[in-house]
Amino acid sequence: MYKILKYSIYDLLRSRWSYVYFFFYLALGFVLLFLNNDVSKAVITLMNIIIVLTPLIGTIFGVMYYYNSKEFTELLLAQPIKRNKIFMGQYLGIALSLTLSLVLGLGIPFLAYGIFKSSAIFDFGLLLVTGSFLNFIFVALAFNIALSNENKIKGFGYAILLWLFLAVIYDGLFIISLLVFNDYPLDKFSLIATMFNPIDLSRILILLKLDISALLGYTGAIFKQFFGTNLGLFSSIFALSLWVIFPVFRINRKLKKKDF
């Protein structure tokens, strides 16, 4: 698996899209720090971009890499190599390369600005951690979609639909449900519903750590009571970890049944 992982990373590093992704975050970090002297404001702006863009890029990269390397993968499957080692190597290669582009692209300008001397270093670190989690989550979800659909058009369509649902539609349904059932106690429902969406979970976690939960209104007070504590922080990290574990587990289960 290590050799396949290394090959996947080298293959992606040769792709110009990896450099476009890296330089985008690099330029974004320098521009935001140039326009804002307050690191916390720059982190908030970055959050709004990363929460939406990172899942989209991870989904597209995952699906695109699977379909583009399908012939090479079938060649590897003809060798005495376990299936899970091949696909886990490819999955980790994509997720790690995207995470590396994100961390280096944002880390370089913030290091040059002197983030270690700022009180917002923890908020910035949490932003990078949640962004890394989103990379691993959505690349795994993309592999699940690609393994379930041989047709490229269907695979890309379902991948974009999944991102659109979690990034936009889910929030709309969540707000509508809060308005419809506002006469009932919705504390537990709000917390559980948030756990079922990694994008919302990441957004709320960062907002609460930035101490601007008042902007979230009624739900902000509820989330502050839970996510604002150490228990809430560890629970949210654990929930994000489950969002990685379950799709990876399904990939391995799908590989055992799939006929290549």
Tens-place pLDDT, residues 227-256: 666 676 788 888 899 999 999 999 988 888
What local confidence, expressed as pLDDT, does residue 226 receive?
62
pLDDT at residue 221 above 60? Answer: no
Name the phi and psi angles at 197, rounded to 5.
Answer: -135, 110
Which pLDDT belongs to residue 227?
62
- Give mean pLDDT, residues 23-33: 87
pLDDT number for residue 3: 73
- Can you give the residue range of the structural domain that contains 179? 2-257
pLDDT for res 191? 77
Q: When comparing pLDDT for 1 and 176, which is higher?
A: 176
State how far the Cα of 157 lies from the Cα of 123, in Å rounded to an integer: 35
Counting residues of the chain whose pLDDT is more than 90, the rounded percentage is: 23
Lowest-pLDDT choice from 15-29, 52-66, 123-137: 15-29
Q: Give the pLDDT mean for 78-100.
A: 86
pLDDT score recorded for residue 242: 93
Number of domain units in the chain: 1
The predicted-structure confidence for 125-150, as pLDDT tens digits, reads as follows 888 999 999 999 999 999 999 998 88
- Alpha carbons within 13 A on the beta-carbon side of 212: 11
3-state secondary structure string, 158-190? HHHHHHHHHHHHHHHHHHHHHHHCCCCCCHHHH
Q: Which helix (H) or strand (E) holds 214?
A: none
Q: How far apart are the C-alpha atoms of 65 and 191, rounded to whole Å?
A: 35
- Look at residue 41 and tell me whether its pLDDT is greater than 60: yes
pLDDT at res. 63: 93
Spatial distance between the Cα atoms of 205 and 197, rounded to a whole number of angstroms = 12
Q: Which pLDDT score, from 0 to 100, does residue 223 have? A: 62
Q: How far is CA 259 from CA 1, 22, 214, in A?
A: 21, 36, 52
Task: Kindly report the pTM of this predicted structure.
Answer: 0.89
Instruction: Name the pLDDT band for 220 (thresholds 50, 70, 90).
Output: low
